[in-house]
Amino acid sequence: GAGVSQSPRYKVAKRGQDVALRCDPISGHVSLFWYQQALGQGPEFLTYFQNEAQLDKSGLPSDRFFAERPEGSVSTLKIQRTQQEDSAVYLCASSPRLAGEKETQYFGPGTRLLVL
């Protein structure tokens, strides 16, 4: 079956531009996560949704970052007024049940964002 998909796969933005990154999770998956991977680092947690509810946004680095999942399926991560330090790979992951320590997360291929 179809896995997690993300679009666009690559995005080049000029500093100050707004960008929107899309995640299509596996159909029926309850939990959805966003992670940010900077060059040379491991993925770092940004935010978590349970269905349409954003239960944790503690990892969002600034108020320029905003995520939504209005119907409990597709999610969008929006970055306003992009800065060079926002350059990273943004990964989306979903899991079929309520999130828990032992639940496998299924990842998309990521969106590579480069801010010039």
Task: Provide the binding-site residues for other proteins, judged by CB under 8 A.
Answer: 3-4, 31, 33, 35, 40-45, 48, 50, 55-56, 59, 91, 95, 98-110
Give min distance, CB of 93 to other proteins, in A.
8
Give min distance, CB of 78 to other proteins, in A.
20
Of residues 19 and 108, the one with the C-beta less far from other proteins: 108
Rounded Cα distance between 38 and 88, Å, is 5
Name, in order, each residue with C-beta under 8 angstroms of 8's C-beta and a sequence gap of 6 or more: 21, 22, 111
Give min distance, CB of 18 to other proteins, in A.
25
Of residues 47 and 82, the one with the C-beta less far from other proteins: 47
Name, in order, each residue with C-beta under 8 angstroms of 44's C-beta and a sequence gap of 6 or more: 35, 36, 37, 38, 59
Half-sphere exposure of 85 (CA within 13 A, CB side): 4
Of residues 27 and 81, the one with the C-beta less far from other proteins: 27
